[in-house]
Structures are given as C-alpha cells and as structure tokens.
Amino acid sequence: MIVAVDGPTASGKGTIARALAAHFALPHLDTGLLYRAVGRQCAVQGGNPDDPADALAACAFPDSLLADPELRSEATGGLASRVSVHPGVRQALYERQRAFALQEGGAVLDGRDIGTVIAPEAEVKLFVVASVPARAERRFREMQAAGRAVSLAEIAADLEARDRRDRTRAEAPLVAASDAVLLDTSDLPREAAIAAAIEIARTKAAALPENRSA
C-alpha cells in the first residue's frame, strides 16, 4: 500500500505520515527533506537558490547532509521552497522518490506533490491543511523549544510567502489530488489529527482488492 501525504509547511503532514508509517509498519520518506538538503547544499556552495544551474548542481549533495539539524531551520525551509521551483531540480529528485514509493510492500511519503506527481497511483491520499495562524503558532513553539530566536510575525510571513511559491510554481504546484481526502488540522490536537488520519487510511486499506493492509 502506498500512502501519499501532501500539504503545506507546518500543517502536520510530517507528524501524520510518521504515525501512519508506524501504524501500518511501512517505510517513510520525508521528501521535503530532500529539497531542504538541496537548498542547504546550494547555500554551502555559495550558489543562488533562484538560479536553475546553481540549484541543480546542489542536487549532488552528500547523503550525510540529510542528518544535518540545520535542515530543519526556517532559513533552510525557505531555501527549499526556492530551489523546488526549478524543473531540473524536481526531475533530479523524482526518480529517487519514485523508487522509494514503488518498493515492495509499499511506503508512506509526505511532501507537496506525492499524490499528484510522485505516486499518483497511491491507494491512500491525504491532503493535510491548517490555517496560517495555526501553522505559525506551531512552528513558533518548535523554534522556541530549539532555542531559535524568531518572531511569530516573521514565521507567518515566511509561511505565506512559501505557500505562494509552492502553489504558483509551474512545475508540480502544491495542489490536492482529485481523489485525496482533505484533513484540516487547524483545531485538532496532535493525537486527534493522527487518529483521524489512521481512520481514513484504514478505511481506504479495507477497500483494497486483497485487503492487504487493513
């Protein structure tokens, strides 16, 4: 069973995807981390994330970079959004994500174009959303816990800018697949959001021809 979890930054899709992977005993890939690695590598190399050539060159990042805690920073998130608009970058990372999705037994992937581009045949598709104020508050608490100095207003402005880039880019824009189930986590506690996602996935799994993952 392939599970696609899409949605904007800080909507809760990563938390939900990890919980689904644990519940159904499936491997999980945070595809956004790949783009964050490209953005981070671009910065390390002194490149311009808005330049297609510089961004593409950064796709050759070392695997060790995926363990860098700096990938989770707001600054790197902004870089990821900028490099992800380039078709060359998306194509360079496509095969890696596609192979993960199609591995034997299935997988859970979260990102922004899993259900529409990477794995359109996914049996379970979730599109996780939340209001900008709710997402900004969550990210603000995360940054405070990590000891990072950033204002709530700055985070909200960054989220809105990233949403605009992700939704208006020409290549694989952030959009819900026509057969995705919308899950709004704005007012849902973490455990309630996870429970709702598991129930959606369980219902979809039960409807599979061989009932493989119910």
pLDDT of residue 74: 81
pLDDT in tens, 95-135: 889 999 999 999 999 999 999 999 999 999 999 999 999 99
pLDDT of residue 210: 66
Please tell me the predicted confidence (pLDDT) of residue 178: 96
> What is the domain partition of the chain in residue ranges?
2-206
**Per-residue pLDDT tens over the stretch 191-214:** 999 999 999 999 998 888 765 444
Q: Classify 2-206 by CATH class.
A: alpha beta
- Tens-place pLDDT, residues 132-162: 999 999 999 988 888 888 899 999 999 999 8
Can you give the pLDDT at residue 94?
A: 94
User: Which of 119-123, 169-173, 175-179, 180-184 is the least confident region?
Assistant: 169-173
Tokens (6 digits) for 169: 């880019």
This prediction's pTM = 0.84
Nearest-angstrom CA–CA distance, 151 and 199: 36
pLDDT in tens, 1-57: 999 999 998 999 999 999 999 999 999 999 989 999 999 999 999 999 999 999 999
